[in-house]
Amino acid sequence: MFNWAKQQLANVAGTQEPIYGPSAIKSVATEAEKTPYTEISRNDLKWQAMDSTSVETHTFYIFGDNGYIALAQLIYSNVAGIRTTCQFNAKVFSSDPSSKPHLWASTPLNNHDFNEDKTSFYADDCAIELSEDGTYYTIKSMNDPNAIVNLKITRSTPGFQAGTTGTTLYGTDMENPWGSMRHAFWPRCVSEGTITTKDGPMDFKGKAFFAYALQGMKPHHAASRWNFLNFQGPTYSAVLMEFTSTPSYGSTLVCVGGIVKDGEIVIGGVDSTATHTQVKKDSENDWPEPSDAKYTWAGKTKDGKAVEASVEGSLGERVDRVDVMAEVPGFVKTIVAAAAGTKPYIYQYHPKLSLKLKIGDEEIVEEGTIFTEATFIS
């Protein structure tokens, strides 16, 4: 009970958590031992809208056939059951940030609501709707005249989550966990529509990726570091999402990933790795910024063929370095700033690299578009 009370204090006040050790985290990998992954349905994409401290997100990464890259994201946050805030973010990456900055639009939303089964979200001048058959989202926002969003994202392969629930649990009593982390993905989608800026409409016909995430606790208590990769090739797509828990939970590594092609999941589960093979010290904040990286996947197809895959090479010049504290909504800032030693930065890259894939005896090499992030929190 005392642990639970200390945890509640940490949740509200941002105080540092005690060291509970690795026994206080139950990785989704334990579910994946029996069931590497499950395909997700419309039911798995409901907004939970928790009434305790949490951050829930829908994030869409869009890769236009014309070379444009954008991100559209809805963040639903709750602070200690006291205050709920919703924010819509849109980012259009500049091909030459030195001469033209990235477009970043972040708007607090008013009068939010959900449809009856909580698969669609509405607010003033904003709607993210899941289709009745669960195969596509429409994303519309007129909250910022600099970035008017009108997109449709249709999955071209089933979505999945690791294990049976996609969820890692935190707490000293796993029957009553005090925190959680869940991810679900649509790894391969087609996109259509526009983001209209001051310069006019930008066409985003192309490929896309969708990630659902729910951090059922303070974000900086859940993880200290993140790695994320999304690969989109002519035939295959790959996703990898890795986080390292804070020292309070034994700095436990949790990595989920998968490889898909049109119409089918090749593999999914927790047998993935992300390694920064070369790093350089960021002169502004001392984080070890990656310059080269290697990502791997392993598993078995539904018919039992062994699969190994990797993406490896130079990440090139970063496309952006995001000072999270400068861009997150104010209420999140107040939670995170209270935690000593928290200085979150996200490094974003967009290199052209190849996916090397071995399925049984068949070897495939496919060059594609990559979007990858390395996040350092504490």
Mean pLDDT value across the chain: 90
More confident residue, 126 or 340: 126
pLDDT per residue as tens digits for the range 89-104: 999 999 888 888 999 9
3-state helix/strand/coil string of 122-142: EECCEEEEECCCCCEEEEEEC
Q: How many CA atoms lie within 13 A of 233 on its CB side?
A: 21
pLDDT per residue as tens digits for the range 254-271: 999 999 998 999 999 999
DSSP track, 1-12? -HHHHHHHHHHH
pLDDT band for 341, please (50, 70, 90 cuts): low
Whether 339 shows a pLDDT value over 70: the answer reads no
Averaged pLDDT for residues 207-225: 90
Q: Residue 211 is part of which domain span? A: 2-376
The angle formed by the CA atoms of residues 366, 226 and 286, to the nearest 5 degrees, is 110
- Decide: 103 and 358 in contact? Cβ < 8 Å: no
- Decide: 187 and 180 in contact? Cβ < 8 Å: no
Percent of the chain with pLDDT over 90: 75
Question: pLDDT at position 136, please?
Answer: 98
How many folded domains does the chain comprise?
1
The DSSP code for 200 is: E
Question: pLDDT at position 15, please?
Answer: 54
For the question of whether the overall pTM of this predicted structure is more than 0.75, the answer is yes
CATH number at residue 140: 2.40.370.10
Averaged pLDDT for residues 5-9: 45
Question: pLDDT at position 220, please?
Answer: 75
H-helix segments, 241-343 = 324-327, 330-337
